[in-house]
Structure 1
Amino acid sequence: MAVHDGPDPMNAAAIDDAAQALLSAWDAAREQATPRLSSAQLNALLAVERAEGVNLGGLAAELHMLLSSASRLCDRLVASGLVERAPGRADRREIALYLTPSSRALLAELRRVRRLALAVTLERMSGSGRAALLRGLSEFASAAADSNGATASARTA
């Protein structure tokens, strides 16, 4: 009898298939709420939201892109009025990035549309199914955060 060290690959495949439905709902909400933004621009806004005052190098690292690519992306966001550049608090020569009221409103609308779409689907599920989904996704998010923290620690070591 074989001993398994990890999850059943069939479970991973089933979760991958089910996650596609969640991602499709998410993408539809993104397209409805933020049709003028590319995925890269939206990811940049979310990164700046998570780390207000991040510098360009930090943004590039967060988005896993070259500094020059992040700079061009940031230029487009500044030109659209979605990001502001300001001198850094610790080092005035460094440029910090901040969301504008316009981008905050845009992200709030995205979340509103996304949550409404999710609520419609969740209503079709049983109460026990919703509870199990929430429990499982919460544990998944925690495990992913632990994994991402370990990955980030390994990169900086």
Structure 2
Amino acid sequence: MNRCPGSRKVPHVDAQPEQPDELDALVGTLLTASRALVGVSARSLADVEEHVTLAQFRTLVVLHSHGPTRLNQLADRLGVGSSTALRAVDRLITSGYAERRENDQDRREVVIEASPRGSALVGEVTGRRRAAIEQIVLAMPARDRGGLVRALAAFAEAADEPTSTNADSATLLGW
């Protein structure tokens, strides 16, 4: 498997596309769509940017989705080093969005979790993001929506991303 920077494992495909122009058009269209989705994500965070960065929000989403988490698990889930995860966690704790406590199962361990304030922030931002995406989808011709669902589900599966059929709803909040 090849690994795309900052992503999950993506299978390597040796076969050359039969229609290179078609592949170029598809990749170009996906890049355009991804810019639109990045814009939606950025706008959904605009009201909270002075409180949390995108990286800190991503950390908060993982904590919210997975519950009490050890630092090394958090770093693995984020795909970053432990020191990077620790800096994000420290800032989230200082701002009241996360909490550090003793592990209930092993008192020698410390776990980090989203605070009620942090979970509320995840819900608020995710709600804004969902509403914005819904408006975009409603602006599409109805006849194209079914094809989009199938195409994006296949894309997510090829990228090894959790989907509504193979993950719980909390995991789908994550990155």
Q: Pick the TM interval, shorter chain.
A: 0.7 to 0.9
Matched, 1:66 2:81: yes
Does 1:125 pair with 2:140?
A: yes
**1:8-57: CA deviation from partner (whole Å, max 9, x where unpaired):** 2431222112221122122111213x222101100100111232111011
Alignment RMSD: 2.4
Q: Give 5+ residue unaligned stretches, structure 1.
A: 148-157
The 3-state SS of whatever aligns with 2:159 is helix
> Taking structure 1 as the reference length, what is the TM-score of the superposition?
0.80
Counterparts of 1:118 and 1:22 in 2: how far apart (Å)? 8
Identical pairs, percent: 28
Kindly tell me: are residues 16 and 87 of structure 1, through their superposed partners in 2, closer, same or farther at Cα, counting changes over 3 Å? same
Query: What does residue range 136-147 of structure 1 map to in structure 2 within 5 Å?
Result: 136-145=151-160
Distance across 2 between alignment mates of 1:136 and 1:4: 17
Q: What residue is the counterpart of 2:42 in the other structure?
A: 27
Residue 5 (structure 1) shift: 7.2
Q: Which amino acid letter does the alignment assign opposite residue 134 of structure 1?
A: V
Q: Which one has the bigger helix percentage? A: 1
Higher relative contact order (CA 8 A, sep 6+): 2
The letter of the residue matching 1:42 is F
41, 57, 64: which is aligned to 1:49? 64
Q: Which residue of 1 is the match for residue 26 of structure 2? A: 11
The within-5 A match list for 1:36-115 is 36-115=51-130
The answer for unaligned runs of 5 or more in structure 2 is 1-14, 163-175
Provide the secondary structure at the position in 2 that maps to 1:85: strand
Stretches of 4+ aligned residues off by more than 4 angstroms: none
**What amino acid is the match of 2:157?**
S
C-alpha deviation, 1:129, in angstroms? 1.6
2:6 corresponds in structure 1 to: none
**Paired residues, number:** 145
CA distance in 2 between counterparts of 1:72 and 1:22 reads 27
